[in-house]
Chains A and B, each alone.
Chain A
Amino acid sequence: DQQVKQNSPSLSVQEGRISILNCDYTNSMFDYFLWYKKYPAEGPTFLISISSIKDKNEDGRFTVFLNKSAKHLSLHIVPSQPGDSAVYFCAETWGTYKYIFGTGTRLKVLA
């Protein structure tokens, strides 16, 4: 069974501190990983991605880390801002039409 798990349904962080969102996967075939951000009443929007040939990708305040041996993916947001409060989904794919999504983590950044 191809599973993607986001074990923390919610996370609260103080403004200016680091937010770390985690994602675990079971299928070693996954070779591309994406993070999406979702605000209420909106669709998910792409945030950042990483290929399995890399272990880190940065884009401004957002960094994604990939640990293939542990089958673990994490998103770091530094510094966290109130506007980052949203639900974050990780998604994985491996070159077919299919994307597998995690259940999401609700991040709340406290001012």
Chain B
Amino acid sequence: NAGVTQTPKFRILKIGQSMTLQCAQDMNHNYMYWYRQDPGMGLKLIYYSVGAGITDKGEVPNGYNVSRSTTEDFPLRLELAAPSQTSVYFCASTPELPPSIQYFGAGTRLSVL
């Protein structure tokens, strides 16, 4: 019963470094999402995907890239890390379009110093 798995749980990056946040789900869900949550704020949508090979921008896509080569995996790439990207990142999946329950991973806490 893994659900949505995110790795790593924590990471500290230096300004300008790059990294990939991993997200995998084993529920065969078509729809996957990446959110960021800043302190005292709600979840903001970065990117989403409606199926393998199809991705689109959300509200705050700048500085990020995604790919969806398989149904299971939806990695989020930070190319040139900036302090403004310090946040908690959540990956989620749903079996269908809204209205539908989203299943979230445990999150990746990222600090860019």
Could you list which residues of chain A lie within 8 angstroms of chain B, going by C-beta atoms?
4, 9, 31-32, 34, 36, 41-46, 49, 51, 89, 93-104
Q: Are B90 and A97 in contact (CB under 8 A)?
A: no
Q: A43-B107, A98-B45, A104-B42 are in contact. Are A93 and B98 (CB under 8 A)?
A: yes
Residues of B within 8 A of A97 (CB): 31, 33, 48, 50, 56, 97-98
Q: B4 in the interface, Cβ–Cβ < 8 Å?
A: yes
Q: Are B101 and A49 in contact (CB under 8 A)?
A: yes
Q: B99 in the interface, Cβ–Cβ < 8 Å?
A: yes
Q: A32-B98, A49-B101, A94-B98 are in contact. Are A42 and B40 (CB under 8 A)?
A: no
Residue of A nearest to B105 (CB): A43
Q: Write the B62-78 contact mask toward A (1 if CB under 8 angstroms, else 0).
A: 00000000000000000
CB within 8 A of A42: which of B35, B56, B92, B107? Answer: B107
Residues of B within 8 A of A103 (CB): 40-42
